Chains A and B, each alone.
Chain A
Amino acid sequence: MNRLDAIRRIVPLLGDAAVVSNLGRNTYDLYEASDRPENFYMWGAMGSTSSVGLGIAMAQPARRVVVLDGDGSMLMSLGCLATVAAYRPANLILVVLDNETYETTGGQATHSGRCADLEAVARGAGLAHTATVTTVDDFAAALGRALRDPGPWFILAKVEQATSFARVPRRPIFIKDRFMAALGTTAG
């Protein structure tokens, strides 16, 4: 499935869910599909995206939190899957948009295309609610269920590389301030 098509398809399902996107193409495609104030765009910290989602989910248990991580970033920090499984925030949905490459750095292969089954890794880490999807329809169905039923969820979405070069504003503090205002957490 095309990643931009996949993200466009799930946008109408999101409601007021917070969405955290991994640096690089996930951030570009989420921005192009729908620039919502509840989107938190990562510009750095590869390997930390799912953990940022975990922190938001634990602080905001009444709100759904969707992470759009990448296969390269997930492989960098597999330990965080065990942490998510240990604390089981029911409102957290980890999505790995797996194109089997480090697309932003030039398309080098990741191990997820060679040998590593990230859904099996997530299950092995202790996550009970997992899925692998390869079509836009199945992705939308899996995410819709995850937005309805208690998690935490892990959805491995196999996508093709390619697509957008959206001009996402590289303004970290603006992104943070807008996101926190949308969540009503600015008072700090």
Chain B
Amino acid sequence: MAKTHAGPTETDPILHRWSTLVADVLLDHRVHMFGYVPDEVSGHLLRRLEAEPACTVVCCTREEEAVATVAGAYLGGKRGAVVLQTSGIGNSMNALGSFVVPYQIPMLLIVSERGGLGEFNPAQVPLGHAVPRVLDALGIQTFPLTPEAEIAPVLAGAAELAFATMMPVAVVLTTRLTGGKTLR
């Protein structure tokens, strides 16, 4: 897992490949509203989306705010996704559990993984490890985006599941896919 510790860089062809695949599927499914809290792993994906005229990309101060903003945009007619780290799921619980789920507001949660393979920070482990079970407790399904060949079918399936059945659905940008975060 040397790649995990090296982390992605702007010129990394692997980074360009997965983030391009993810962006293409999102655009194919008319996912045009994005709320996020900045993260090294998702930075390139977000810059790609910002370059799309159809997309609105909102940098939020807290992930719960991103969930609420993307939910509001759905009410206003725009499909959306929240781009966040696993720790951000912890910050989003009440907006998901007492708003998005009971109102059946669909969205994608694009979660960059912390706390698993290659993790260097003990503070990231407990919640990172718990995220799929925490989401499952709210009835939210989670799908890992690994390996690269499965990004398109898994993400497309997650988008269909979310917007056809009116539920939030999570996909995980695993460290095996992204290389994870740089140790600084």
Contact = CB atoms under 8 A, between A and B. Distances in A.
Do A and B originate from a single complex? yes
Interface of A: 18, 20, 40, 42-49, 51-60, 77, 79-80, 82-83, 86-87, 172-173, 175-176, 179-180, 183-185, 187-188
Given A54-B72, A83-B60, A172-B104, 19 more contacts: A20-B72, A44-B97, A45-B94, A46-B94, A48-B67, A55-B75, A55-B76, A55-B80, A59-B72, A59-B74, A59-B75, A59-B76, A79-B62, A82-B61, A172-B102, A176-B103, A185-B76, A187-B77, A188-B74
A59 B77 contact: yes
Q: Which has the most chain B C-beta neighbours within 10 Å: A59, A83, A179?
A: A59
Q: Which has the most chain A C-beta neighbours within 10 Å: B35, B62, B69, B73?
A: B69
Contacts of A55: 33, 35, 68-76, 80
B104 A176 contact: yes
Contacts of B44: none
A52 B76 CA distance: 10
B98 A40 contact: no
B24 interface: no
Q: Which has the most chain B C-beta neighbours within 10 Å: A42, A45, A80?
A: A45
Nearest to B94: A45
Contact of B61 (A43, A45, A58, A80): A80
A77 B163 contact: no
A185 B73 CA distance: 10
Contact of B65 (A83, A173, A176): A83
Contacts of A180: 75, 77
19 contacts: A44-B94, A44-B97, A46-B94, A48-B94, A54-B68, A54-B72, A55-B71, A55-B73, A59-B76, A60-B76, A79-B65, A80-B62, A82-B61, A173-B104, A176-B75, A176-B103, A176-B104, A188-B74, A188-B79
Nearest to A67: B72
Given A45-B99, A77-B62, A183-B75, A52 B163 contact: no
Contacts of A82: 61
B78 interface: yes
Contacts, number: 128
A47 B93 CA distance: 12
Nearest to A170: B102
A180 B76 CA distance: 7
Contacts of A188: 74, 77, 79, 106, 163
Q: Is the interface of A mostly helix, strand, loop or mixed?
A: helix
B163 to A, nearest CB: 6
Given A48-B64, A77-B65, A59 B73 contact: yes
Interface string B31-61: 0010100000000000000000000101111
Q: Which has the most chain B C-beta neighbours within 10 Å: A42, A48, A187?
A: A48
Contacts of B94: 44-48
A42 B67 CA distance: 14
Nearest to A23: B98
Given A44-B99, A48-B95, A176-B105, A79 B68 contact: no
Nearest to B96: A45
Nearest to B75: A56
Closest 8 CB pairs of A and B: A55-B72, A44-B98, A59-B76, A79-B61, A185-B77, A51-B68, A45-B99, A48-B68
A122 B37 CA distance: 21
Interface in B85-114: 94-95, 97-99, 102-106
